[in-house]
Amino acid sequence: MQRTDLRFPTPRPAGDASASEPAAAAGRDQIGGGAADRSDGAPAPGVRRSRGRVFLRRVRRFVALLLCAVLAVIAGTAARVWWVARQDARPTVDAILVLGASQYDGRPSPVLRARLEHAVALYREGVAPRIITVGGNQPGDRFTEADSGRRWLIAHEVAETSVLAVPEGRDTLQSVRAVRDLMRRHQWRSVVIVTDPWHALRSRSMARAEGLNASVSPARQGPAVRSRSTQGKYVARETAAWLHWWLLRRSSGFGHGVV
């Protein structure tokens, strides 16, 4: 009878994985290669989506921070307009400057008249020995804002020799530069500006930027301070106008007689 030789494979120790490591590694390489980097070198779709989400989050964060910064600047400027409007500086200076506003054939408008009345009060207090009026005219006008203001002051017992008219300027910046040139010729440097409260910050900033030692004493009466809604409108407009000047160093052109 023929004998059959049955042989069984010798059991391999559990810790000996040397034979299976190459195959396992090859399997991992195939699986991993498909998840991370394909054979053509491009990232897998899942990786691309993840990177896109990270980029969008960073863009949204940047836009949010930028928006917060812009809102903070606007709010801070409005607060400065409001704060300076409530200041009243009356140092002894070389001249009182009355910024122009509308006039009607030689008669000051209520806005301009309120400024002139306040300038007279400062003059009588001894703040300055002279008053400067400034402002041009509109096409077709017979009188300028400066001449109308000068005539009104002389009619209200201010000495003619103490009033100087500078009939130039269609906006605040032009007017300030015209007065700067006059004051340089006379070697005057210090000035108290009389204007509406909400216009105080911008007019003072412009005058100082042009080299004048400027303070401001706003007129507390007149249409510019008549109601809360009017005040809010002026604060909003002056906030935009000041930011426009600060960024571009020119007047905004939002409206004659105010800016």
Q: How is residue 141 written in tokens?
A: 């006008």
Task: Please report the pLDDT score of residue 9 as a whole number.
Answer: 55
Is residue 12 situated within a structural domain?
no
Task: Please report the pLDDT score of residue 41 as a whole number.
Answer: 60
Give the CATH number of the domain where residue 148 resides.
3.40.50.620
Give the model confidence (pLDDT) of 97-107 as tens digits. Answer: 999 999 999 99
Task: Please report the pLDDT score of residue 14 as a whole number.
Answer: 52
Is residue 214 situated within a structural domain?
yes
Ordered mean pLDDT values, 10 residues apiece, the chain (259 residues): 53 52 50 50 69 85 93 94 94 97 93 96 97 92 94 95 95 95 96 96 96 96 78 90 92 53
Is residue 210 situated within a structural domain?
yes
Is residue 122 situated within a structural domain?
yes
Is residue 158 situated within a structural domain?
yes
Is residue 39 situated within a structural domain?
no
Is residue 1 situated within a structural domain?
no
**Residue 225 is part of which domain span?**
84-248
Global model pTM greater than 0.85:
no
The number of folded domains in the chain is 1
Task: Please report the pLDDT score of residue 42 as a whole number.
Answer: 62
Task: Please report the pLDDT score of residue 63 as a whole number.
Answer: 93
Task: Please report the pLDDT score of residue 257 as a whole number.
Answer: 41
Give the model confidence (pLDDT) of 76-91 as tens digits. Answer: 999 999 999 999 999 9
Q: How far apart are CA 200 and CA 179, in angstroms?
A: 16
Task: Please report the pLDDT score of residue 120 as a whole number.
Answer: 97
Q: Cβ distance 148 to 107 under 8 Å?
A: yes
Is residue 64 situated within a structural domain?
no
